[in-house]
Chain A
Amino acid sequence: MPSQPTTLLQGTLDLLILKSLATAELHGLGISRRIQQITGGTFVVKPGSLFPALHRMEEEGWTSSFWGDSENNRRAKYYRLTKAGRKQLETESKRWGRISLAIAQALETS
């Protein structure tokens, strides 16, 4: 597992957070671990990047939060996608698809 994760592209973190919340409501650490898991360990999101992003996205109205109990009965703040968040995930995914396709194309030609 690379300890120094790849530098995140602008917007990538948002997309990853939205994606990780697409299937379940998670708390901060849960989101972090989920991202680690779905990217095969390529991205490790530190709290210093995670929390500002989470709060910003909540202010944007993409996520909402509530206090709940964790698996071992700890109080934790959970996040879930809102309707706007799901729409945002959709547009972001499409955009990302286009970008990665374009980048791949660009790398192939030469």
Chain B
Amino acid sequence: MPFFPKAASFLRNLFLTRRVERDLDLEVRSHLQLLIDENRRAGMSPQEAQRAARMELGGAEQVKQQVREQRLGDSLHSWISDCRFGVRQLHKNPGFTLTVVLTLALSVGANTAIFSLVNALLLKSLPYPHPERMATIYTSIIGPSAASDERHNVNGEQWELLRDNVPALISAVSSVRPSGVNLKAGSHVEYVQDGRVSAHYFDVLGLHPVLGRNFSEDEDRPHGPKTVILSYSLWRNAFAADPGILGQTILLRSDPLTVVGVLPPGATTPLNADVYTSLQPSREGEGRGTNFRCVIRLRDGASWQEADAQINRAWLSRPGLYELAGNPGAKVSYHLVPLQKGQTDLLRPQVLALMVAAGLILLIACANLAGLTLVRMLRRTSEVATRLALGASGWQIQRQFWIENLLLALIGGVAGTAVGFLGLRSLLLLLPEHFLPVAGAPLDARVMSFTLTVSVLTSVLFGMLPALVARKVDLRSSMADRAVARAGSLRLRQSLLAGEVALSVVLLAGSGLLIRSLTHLETLPPGFNPNGVMVAKASLDDVRYHDPAAFRKLLDESTAAMREIPGVQNAAVGLNLPYEFVGNDYVMLSDGKEAGQQGGADWTYVTPGYFNTLQMPVLAGRVFTDADDLTSQHVAVVNQSFARKFYGGSNPVGRYIDKDLFNGRGILIVGEVADVPISSGLDPVAPLQTEQTMYIPATQVDGQLLALLHQWLQPDWIVRTTGPVDGLTAAMQRALNTADPNLPASGFYSMKDLLARTLATQRIEVALLGAMAALALLLSAVGIFALVANMVAQRTREIGIRMALGSTVGQVMLQIGRSGVNASLLGVVLGLVLSAGALRLMSSVIYGIGVYDVTTILVVVFTISAVTLLATTIPALRIASIDPARTLREE
């Protein structure tokens, strides 16, 4: 079979259409002429000759069409012309096209953005070799008085047993999160994130330094050599990629460290820090608590079963089961969790809930689009009938509709990708730093194919309905029974609308609950006066302040300097403030009938001016004075919850706790203050709650504990002012520097800022679900609007007759508007029924209100009603401008 002439013809037919057509035209004409000549030769008259020739030819256009139909590439040709026709159709109805594209852009965009998150968090494999051989380990405590199934990291004892007795694994631990510290190298000073890791940490991750080496086991022992590994970007930016960096000394926390390695470019770790130092984990200090985050890798040739058995043997024989202190009868279990799952477990439910919400948006959009295309289809009934009459096949007509839908899907998909990209950008900006355990959420091939699939699927879903209707169109019905088809389609559109409204109700109710919950948290009785308080944070993770005397000097001098600032009434320092995360420890009651009782309590240090500066009411006893120091009796101030939990609400002043400490002198409770909301680490049931808390004088904390605490937390300097003070933060920084010229504040906050930081997750949830609900509401409104507007347009004649017969504009508006209102009402009822089931799933993320919150439901119903009213009234207003005389004349 000769290929070349075929290909040449194909290309000629496709690209030289005009020449091929002209040639054909000439050929047919010349054929006619030859026939006429022949007839003339046979003796016919000119007219007769022509008539006979035309009859034999049988219609020039039909002959040409028959030639065209068997041309190579003819089907492609008709596809292209269908596309052209489709584009023209879309261009001719800009209102329809714009509505569809916008609807698609918003709904596909929302899905693209959320799916990018799902992809980055749950689907993309971790950027390490053989991520399936990596895992993390959690422990959990199940017992009579352990309320939550909270997951704990591992402590020093568990770590040592894991390291020494589980040969099936390469194990490593790190600090739970990186800490902000000051780096000084020569004259270069920079605030960096320090990730503290054990030996073999980078072996587990499969990372090999480009320069130097990983930490050795020797460096990982307590008091081992002090060394540091730099990230590639820090090495480039701060050290100009100095190839001789190894062996140089840099200051971190004012502590000299030797550089032993530089990580490869683009290397990510679960900590994503700028520098890495040795964790030097042990059973002492932070190793007493579950403060180590574990990463493990299965050794080649070992199986998870072996590893499991070895961990079991090692851990269950532990002598000091700390978890059981104050929790008799509890059981400790551990979980090996794949690393990715471990990293994203906390976010997984939220992200999946968002994905479901985005899916609902897509459904609503589909229903809307189906309604719109259905109307458009019905408007084109006469066009379809004409084409059928002219001989177009059903398939040709169907194909035309499908092509138009696909065109819309593609335009909408592109617009949706753009919207999704922008949405994702703003979403990531909204998130606090280090909120996501991944470096970013890129629009990769998987996201793009998801978007394409979604837009095409949407187009198929909303295109199916009109196409099915189109199949039923036949010549007779299209001429005669238009009213019948319309009544049927109205009911269909109303059901679609009701469905949309129902889904909107669910989303609105869900976001309403989140808003109510956030409001509840934000308006909790503070227990202090948050107005007029300014906060400066600074890192004391610095070897100079491991000495209590130096620490006390800093506190005294800096607070004294701050009190000198004009307009400042008082100044103080505390390790934590209300709304912030507070550490905790076990306390043992030492006297009275409660003697020997143990329990967890939050724990923080403060300077004497703390309670006065925050204006926290003192309920009993006294607060601290400058006389409380390391040489005097250790004292504590407790809050009301503490007194209630441990002393049944009776006055705690004068009672002793932890009598075994401090040579048997223990801690004397000297005062009781009001409760303040905090972010709990002890037993978190809500993002903000009041909990038993113990305040200790900052001057009674020993050096070892100071070093430990400041590794995790940055203390707060607070001042109270009567009114706004110009340049307050600058003045606070100067005051800090009079005590220590090398101490930069890491940030300044109002109490409102701290509250917002603690409730960041809730705010993000509100923002995201709120945006989704608003989108759903908007789409539903567009749906109702389109329905009513369309009714007005279709029934202009009927309206004219009614008005000519004496109906008032109001009556007709009511009549027409009812279609939208009825659909919406049905939707609300349906939505409330759906909500009754769906909202129960939210009980774990709402606080202070019930799932069936009457206010929320009323507001949702009111909002939908208002929007429905608006969306039906605006198009119905056009009825007023209908002139009965003119409409009747026109038809």
Given A48-B66, A60-B6, A61-B2, A76:B34 Cβ within 8 A: yes
From residue A8, how far is it (CB to closest CB) to chain B in Å?
A: 15
Q: Are A52 and B67 in contact (CB under 8 A)?
A: yes
- Within 8 Å of chain B (Cβ to Cβ): is A84? yes
Q: Are A48 and B58 in contact (CB under 8 A)?
A: yes
Which residues from B are CB-within-8-Å of A61? 2, 4-6
Q: Are A47 and B28 in contact (CB under 8 A)?
A: yes
Interface mask (A64-75 → B, CB under 8 Å = 1, otherwise 0): 000000101011
From residue A76, how far is it (CB to closest CB) to chain B in Å?
A: 5
Q: Which residue of A lies closest to B3 (CB)?
A: A61
Q: Which residue of A lies closest to B20 (CB)?
A: A55
Which residues from A are CB-within-8-Å of B70? 52, 55-56
- Within 8 Å of chain A (Cβ to Cβ): is B71? yes
Which residues from A are CB-within-8-Å of B57? 47
- Within 8 Å of chain A (Cβ to Cβ): is B591? no
Q: How far, in whole Å, are A10 and B66 apart by their CA atoms in the complex?
A: 17
Q: Are B30 and A48 in contact (CB under 8 A)?
A: no
**Of B2, B30, B66, B71, which contacts A74 at CB under 8 A?**
B30
Q: Are A70 and B34 in contact (CB under 8 A)?
A: yes
**Of B10, B24, B31, B58, which contacts A29 at CB under 8 A?**
B31
Given A55-B70, A59-B71, A72-B37, A47:B31 Cβ within 8 A: yes
- Within 8 Å of chain B (Cβ to Cβ): is A58? yes
Q: How far, in whole Å, are A61 and B9 apart by their CA atoms in the complex?
A: 9
Interface mask (B266-282 → A, CB under 8 Å = 1, otherwise 0): 00000000000000000
Which residues from B are CB-within-8-Å of A80? none
From residue B301, how far is it (CB to closest CB) to chain A in Å?
A: 66
Q: Which residue of B lies closest to A51 (CB)?
A: B67
- Within 8 Å of chain A (Cβ to Cβ): is B69? yes
Q: How far, in whole Å, are A56 and B66 apart by their CA atoms in the complex?
A: 11
- Within 8 Å of chain A (Cβ to Cβ): is B464? no
Which residues from B are CB-within-8-Å of A58? 5, 9
Q: Are B5 and A76 in contact (CB under 8 A)?
A: no
Q: How far, in whole Å, are A61 and B72 apart by their CA atoms in the complex?
A: 12
Q: Are B34 and A27 in contact (CB under 8 A)?
A: yes
**Of A51, A52, A72, which contacts B27 at CB under 8 A?**
A51
- Within 8 Å of chain A (Cβ to Cβ): is B164? no
Given A29-B31, A70-B34, A76-B30, A48:B71 Cβ within 8 A: no
From residue B59, how far is it (CB to closest CB) to chain A in Å?
A: 8
Which residues from B are CB-within-8-Å of A75? 26, 30
- Within 8 Å of chain A (Cβ to Cβ): is B833? no
Which residues from A are CB-within-8-Å of B5? 58-61
Q: Are A46 and B30 in contact (CB under 8 A)?
A: no
Q: Are A55 and B71 in contact (CB under 8 A)?
A: yes
Q: How far, in whole Å, are A70 and B35 apart by their CA atoms in the complex?
A: 12
Q: How far, in whole Å, are A77 and B108 apart by their CA atoms in the complex?
A: 56
Which residues from A are CB-within-8-Å of B66? 48, 51-52
Q: How far, in whole Å, are A35 and B57 apart by their CA atoms in the complex?
A: 17
Q: How far, in whole Å, are A58 and B837 apart by their CA atoms in the complex?
A: 70
CB proximity to B under 8 Å, residues A36-58: 46-48, 51-52, 55-56, 58
Given A47-B63, A48-B66, A72-B37, A59:B72 Cβ within 8 A: yes
**Of B9, B30, B35, B67, which contacts A77 at CB under 8 A?**
B30
From residue B238, how far is it (CB to closest CB) to chain A in Å?
A: 71
- Within 8 Å of chain A (Cβ to Cβ): is B626? no
Interface mask (B1-42 → A, CB under 8 Å = 1, otherwise 0): 110111001100000000000011011101101110110000
Q: Are A28 and B6 in contact (CB under 8 A)?
A: no
Which residues from B are CB-within-8-Å of A46? 56, 58
Q: How far, in whole Å, are A71 and B37 apart by their CA atoms in the complex?
A: 11
The CB with the most chain A CB atoms within 10 A, among B31, B37, B56, B69, is that of: B31
- Within 8 Å of chain A (Cβ to Cβ): is B722? no
Q: Are A47 and B9 in contact (CB under 8 A)?
A: no
Q: How far, in whole Å, are A27 and B62 apart by their CA atoms in the complex?
A: 20
Q: Which residue of A lies closest to B35 (CB)?
A: A29
Which residues from B are CB-within-8-Å of A74? 30, 33-34, 37
Q: How far, in whole Å, are A55 and B38 apart by their CA atoms in the complex?
A: 24
Q: Which residue of A lies closest to B33 (CB)?
A: A74
From residue A72, how far is it (CB to closest CB) to chain B in Å?
A: 6
Q: Which residue of A lies closest to B23 (CB)?
A: A77
Q: Are B56 and A47 in contact (CB under 8 A)?
A: yes
Which residues from A are CB-within-8-Å of B64? 51
Q: Are B67 and A55 in contact (CB under 8 A)?
A: yes
Q: Are A84 and B2 in contact (CB under 8 A)?
A: yes
From residue A25, how far is it (CB to closest CB) to chain B in Å?
A: 15
Q: Are A60 and B2 in contact (CB under 8 A)?
A: yes
Q: How far, in whole Å, are A46 and B57 apart by their CA atoms in the complex?
A: 7
Interface mask (A12-38 → B, CB under 8 Å = 1, otherwise 0): 000000000000000111000000000
Q: How far, in whole Å, are A47 and B67 apart by their CA atoms in the complex?
A: 10
Which residues from A are CB-within-8-Å of B28? 47, 51
Q: Which residue of B lies closest to A56 (CB)?
A: B70
Q: Are B69 and A52 in contact (CB under 8 A)?
A: yes
CB proximity to A under 8 Å, residues B32-56: 33-35, 37-38, 56
Given A47-B28, A47-B56, A77-B27, A59:B38 Cβ within 8 A: no
Q: Which residue of B lies closest to A76 (CB)?
A: B30
The CB with the most chain A CB atoms within 10 A, among B38, B58, B66, is that of: B66
Q: How far, in whole Å, are A29 and B63 apart by their CA atoms in the complex?
A: 14
Q: Which residue of A lies closest to B38 (CB)?
A: A29
Q: Are B62 and A29 in contact (CB under 8 A)?
A: no
Q: How far, in whole Å, are A52 and B28 apart by their CA atoms in the complex?
A: 12
From residue B778, how far is it (CB to closest CB) to chain A in Å?
A: 55
The CB with the most chain A CB atoms within 10 A, among B24, B27, B64, B70, is that of: B27
Q: Are B26 and A48 in contact (CB under 8 A)?
A: no
From residue B607, how far is it (CB to closest CB) to chain A in Å?
A: 96
From residue B11, how far is it (CB to closest CB) to chain A in Å?
A: 11
Which residues from B are CB-within-8-Å of A48? 58, 62-63, 66
From residue B24, how far is it (CB to closest CB) to chain A in Å?
A: 8
Q: How far, in whole Å, are A60 and B10 apart by their CA atoms in the complex?
A: 11
From residue B77, how far is it (CB to closest CB) to chain A in Å?
A: 14
From residue B43, how far is it (CB to closest CB) to chain A in Å?
A: 16
From residue A24, how far is it (CB to closest CB) to chain B in Å?
A: 16
**Of B9, B23, B24, B34, which contacts A59 at CB under 8 A?**
B9
From residue B145, how far is it (CB to closest CB) to chain A in Å?
A: 88
Q: How far, in whole Å, are A65 and B67 apart by their CA atoms in the complex?
A: 15
Q: Are B4 and A27 in contact (CB under 8 A)?
A: no
From residue A12, how far is it (CB to closest CB) to chain B in Å?
A: 17
Q: How far, in whole Å, are A74 and B63 apart by their CA atoms in the complex?
A: 21
Q: Which residue of B lies closest to A67 (CB)?
A: B26
Q: How far, in whole Å, are A74 and B9 apart by their CA atoms in the complex?
A: 26
Which residues from A are CB-within-8-Å of B34? 27-29, 70, 74, 76
Q: How far, in whole Å, are A110 and B70 apart by their CA atoms in the complex?
A: 41
Q: How far, in whole Å, are A61 and B1 apart by their CA atoms in the complex?
A: 9
The CB with the most chain A CB atoms within 10 A, among B33, B34, B56, B70, is that of: B34
Q: How far, in whole Å, are A60 and B64 apart by their CA atoms in the complex?
A: 19
Which residues from B are CB-within-8-Å of A72? 37
Q: Which residue of B lies closest to A29 (CB)?
A: B34
Q: How far, in whole Å, are A60 and B72 apart by their CA atoms in the complex?
A: 10
Which residues from B are CB-within-8-Å of A70? 34
Which residues from A are CB-within-8-Å of B9? 58-59
Q: How far, in whole Å, are A60 and B746 apart by their CA atoms in the complex?
A: 81
From residue A102, how far is it (CB to closest CB) to chain B in Å?
A: 26
Q: How far, in whole Å, are A28 and B62 apart by their CA atoms in the complex?
A: 16
Q: Are A27 and B6 in contact (CB under 8 A)?
A: no
From residue A89, how far is it (CB to closest CB) to chain B in Å?
A: 15
* Given contact pairs A29-B34, A47-B31, a sample of 11 additional A-B residue pairs in the complex whose CB atoms are under 8 Å apart: A27-B34, A28-B27, A29-B31, A29-B35, A46-B56, A48-B62, A51-B24, A52-B67, A60-B1, A76-B27, A77-B30
Q: Can you list 5 A-B contacts with CB-CB less than 8 angstroms, sorted by A residue number?
A: A48-B63, A55-B24, A58-B9, A74-B30, A77-B30
A positions within 8 Å CB-CB of B: 27-29, 46-48, 51-52, 55-56, 58-61, 70, 72, 74-77, 84
Which 8 pairs show the lowest CB-CB distances between chains A and B?
A61-B5, A61-B2, A59-B9, A29-B34, A77-B27, A52-B66, A76-B30, A52-B70
